[in-house]
Amino acid sequence: MDNVGLNDFRRALELPFRGIRDAKQLLGIMEAKYERVSDDVALLLEQFNAAFSKSKPIYLHRSSDTAARALKWRLSSSKVYNFSDAAKSFRLVTSEVIQILFNAGMSRHEVALIIEFDFKKNHLNYELSYLFAEISRLKVFIDDFEAWRKTPALIGVRRQNDD
């Protein structure tokens, strides 16, 4: 097998790592960052719950970390608001939702604070989703590469250093 040619091919792709050792190191870095961002998601949820009583018309809900959106807005199930579809998640920054918040008696300051939470929620959701997808792809790549490394011996071809 022509490892020089294969390594030239790999370098031409401009991957975010040079070889399998770098890929494994990147995986470790990404997994650590995923844990930090996951902790940031939990912290944002705690901050929201501390800032707003449970009787507000909307609340942040945490779904599975593997979901594209770890944090989602939900309508309160409180009968005082008379929401017919309380468990449905929705996009916060629309004129209709902002009007619902004002109609529910929230002040401009409270609505502005919720919009700040939405900004942070969107960024954390993106980062968590991005990291989850990249970690999954990198694990598959590493597994496939490790399997590929064993192939020359299986077919009786001598392999030079591949990394």
* Structural domain includes residue 161: no
* pTM more than 0.85: no
Q: CA 67, 79, 98, 42: dihedral to nearest 10 degrees? A: -30
* Structural domain includes residue 163: no
Q: What is the pLDDT of residues 47-58, one digit of tens each?
A: 999 998 777 888
pLDDT recorded at residue 142: 96
Q: What is the pLDDT of residues 70-107, one digit of tens each?
A: 898 887 765 556 666 545 667 788 888 888 889 888 89
Q: What is the pLDDT of residues 122-161, one digit of tens each?
A: 999 999 999 999 999 999 999 999 998 887 666 666 655 5
* Structural domain includes residue 9: no
126 near 117, Cβ under 8 Å? no
Number of compact structural domains in the chain: 1
Q: Which domain holds residue 117?
A: 19-152
125 near 60, Cβ under 8 Å? no
Count the neighbouring beta carbons within 10 Å of the beta carbon of residue 97. Answer: 19
